[in-house]
A and B are shown apart, each in its own frame.
Chain A
């Protein structure tokens, strides 16, 4: 098993090298001149040149790339010009914010979508099937941006139930000591119940926004996969043997229907992690997506490269985890297969 994991990781190295080269070239090909941007509105040509020299953008591309890879080998992703901080530190601080939000959103989504999908599959054509269809269609066709704003408008602005959309904590709480970077866990470790409640209440609306959006693929995939399994022969046999409907559905059918659902989950998770920029913007969430987009707008190379690289590494790891999960759920699937 371990050697297989090592082998899989080794296979990922060439693709990571490819990612490094492509992102480097792509960021350089972006329109816009970071030196002119950061020289400020009142810069003369000489001032722009001075800045260019300071940033090292006057060197030939090959030399810039060489320096970049050498730094990378030392774990240095460079410094962002827009925020003025080292990229590695920023990603370390921001990734947990995005991950906590995405995981919670996904958890909520799974908790609703799986039962909904299973029920819809066991009673096709019934009212619950139609509910499932309507809910998922509505969820996926509402842009996250819109859902987020509507939730803020209703629950914060109109009703006042939700706290101000000001990021991860109320303004007057200080962040807990970073252990995991997940505020829900860190506040519990610190034993600060007030801060925990604040962190949780800040999370509810953005997580709900993400959940609404990601319901559709999970519920639809569960339904389709369950339908297929329920019509298969071993389910008919199980039913014929007189097993209770609950045992048939949960123990036999559901476990077999899980594989495509897991695949969808992994895709939804990695998609959400990078793509919840809009949710982060609406809720002033200090996540990784908004960080990357802001850097892109300012043609700030280092964070963009760091972001793409981090995402690539995450995809590799996630795929590995999914593959291992397959083996656990279905013993017939093995890593080498």
Chain B
């Protein structure tokens, strides 16, 4: 018998009869509350409720997404397995009633009846203040805005009380999509300004602790590291009223316990479990498990191309033939990943990203290439990984180490503590490493701009520089902005081919985002940020 059924059956009995366990004696009102409440358990919780804050972590994005509105959002389409998947190319109005895109600007008319949680109407000055804030506070939000060529407060113009215009600095295909990510959320400017100080003109300290938005949910209680409680905003007008009244999000550090909570029917949703657990839960069918490929997320083996032996393309190709691809997918990912290798030799390059390479495990070819490069006897090197993701990274590196040993390459495994990983990446000195990258904006040229361009961003972890690559990437960006499809297609195919021929990084697989939930939960949607959207979820 499930505990929930048990509750119903004993609710009529005298309290305290059965066991010294609280839920058994819970009052009927509390049992009711349970059916309207969504209980989420996850490993980590937010450190800041405002995505504009200093160092807001990924769980904090989930709060922002559900408690704030943006001008526009994405439509849904049917994704793999029929699961609703955000539609990269179709936008729908959120706070805006409609959007008119001109040649060098976009105009948004705001809903007249939208109100912040405290009852103040949402006006154009709030929108401008919020966008100004996003491009001015520095750190991640400002960086994300700049990805869509949104960098200056002058770009955001108040036309009238309910109309805002966004001027473009230059033609950029990513400007509109960038207005639909989490960062450009609309904040209650009057309320925050009241609580701002000279030292903190944008009121970041205030919004860190409470939500000041107009979104479908508001945070009513937050105990850092323990729980977040969110209540539905019944006056929300930017979409159909959500079904879930209350969301309780508890932090349960132990993955095994999260699984136990799910299987006992106490928790409604959990993610961040080991792949093995997801695999088993899928197999036993008691819960519904959703697994969807992370849009443009790729786990890869990177090589520092500025130093021998990896400055030699032949050595890099040899490694690409020596990767134990299938073993990694089977033993590390338990099948929960899309292969990024082994495309048929005659397959034409597509105008898409990600797509599989033509490399596959072939030790003979690898040996021959290595001999050609003058490393017939192998060499010694170090492979590094981020300990924060040790569950995947460690077995993966061990498999790679084993495989390379067959070529005479002696690899030492270097485990880098999570706190240190980014510092190490920034130094760009690690010879061989595994890492993962996925961008919110799912466009090939965007991915390549960060990962392969010669401007050497932090994600170009290989320090790869090639004038030809830069020309193709810049070409594709310009062509996308002007809508020149022929040039765009040619350039995208060009840089994908070049990246696979020179292999500064070896793509391994595209991982899945996995979410396990009770059978009575429906309405899960996949978003580019890979966090939950409570607005669409339904219980019962």
Residues of A within 8 A of B (CB): 30-34, 36-45, 47-48, 50-51, 54-55, 80-85, 90, 93, 149, 152-153, 156-157, 160-167, 170-173, 194-195, 197-198, 200-202, 281-284, 286, 290-291, 294, 297-299
Return the chain A residue nearest B30 by Cβ.
A172
B248 touches A84 (CB 8 A): no
Closest to A50 in B: B138
Q: Could you tell me the distance in whole angstroms from the C-beta of B478 to the nearest C-beta in chain A?
A: 22
Shortest beta-carbon distance from B68 to chain A in Å: 17
Bound together, the chains give a CA A298 to CA B3 distance in angstroms of 38
Instruction: Give the residues from 223 to 270 in chain B that come closer than 8 angstroms, CB to CB, to chain A.
Output: 223-227, 248, 250-254, 256-257, 260-261, 263-264, 266-267
Q: Are the C-beta atoms of A172 and B418 separated by less than 8 Å?
A: no
**B377 part of interface (Cβ distance < 8 Å):** no
Residues in A with CB closer than 8 Å to B143 are 42-44, 47
The answer to whether A156 and B422 have CB atoms under 8 Å apart is no
A162–B23 CA distance with the chains assembled, in angstroms: 10
Q: Across the interface, do A37 and B422 meet the contact criterion of CB distance under 8 Å?
A: yes
A82→B54 CA distance, assembly (Å): 11
5 contacts between A and B (CB under 8 A): A34-B419, A42-B140, A162-B21, A166-B41, A281-B253
Contacts of B191 in A (CB 8 A): none
Q: Is the CB of B144 within 8 A of A42?
A: yes
Chain B residue at minimal CB-CB distance from A48: B426
- The CA of A47 and the CA of B459, in the complex, are separated in Å by 14
If A39-B140, A45-B426 touch, does A32 touch B419 (CB 8 Å cutoff)?
A: yes
Number of B interface residues at 8 Å Cβ cutoff, please give it: 60
Q: Is the Cβ of A298 less than 8 Å from the Cβ of B253?
A: no
B417 at the A interface (CB under 8 A): yes
B43 to chain A, nearest CB (A): 10
Chain B, 29-57, CB within 8 A of any chain A CB: 30, 33-34, 37, 39, 41, 46-48, 53-57
Taking the closest CB of chain B, its distance from the CB of A19, in whole angstroms, is: 23
**B23, B53, B138, B139 — most chain A CB neighbours (10 Å):** B139
User: Which residues of the partner chain A approach B39 to less than 8 Å between Cβ atoms?
Assistant: 171
Bound Cα distance A202, B41 (Å): 17
Q: Is there an interface contact between A83 and B47, defined as CB atoms closer than 8 Å? A: yes
A136 to B430, CA, bound (A): 48
- Check B144 against A297 for contact (C-beta < 8 Å): no
Interface flags for B1-24 (1: CB within 8 Å of A; 0: not) read 001000000000000100111110
- B223's nearest neighbour on chain A, judged by CB, is A286
> Could you tell me if B422 and A39 are in contact, using CB atoms closer than 8 angstroms?
yes
Bound-complex Cα distance A82 to B53 (A): 12
A202 to B20, CA, bound (A): 10
With A161-B19, A161-B21 known to touch, is A291 a contact of B225 (CB < 8 Å)?
yes
Name the B residues within 8 Å of A197 (CB-CB). Answer: 16, 20-22, 25
Contact B419 A298 (CB under 8 A): yes
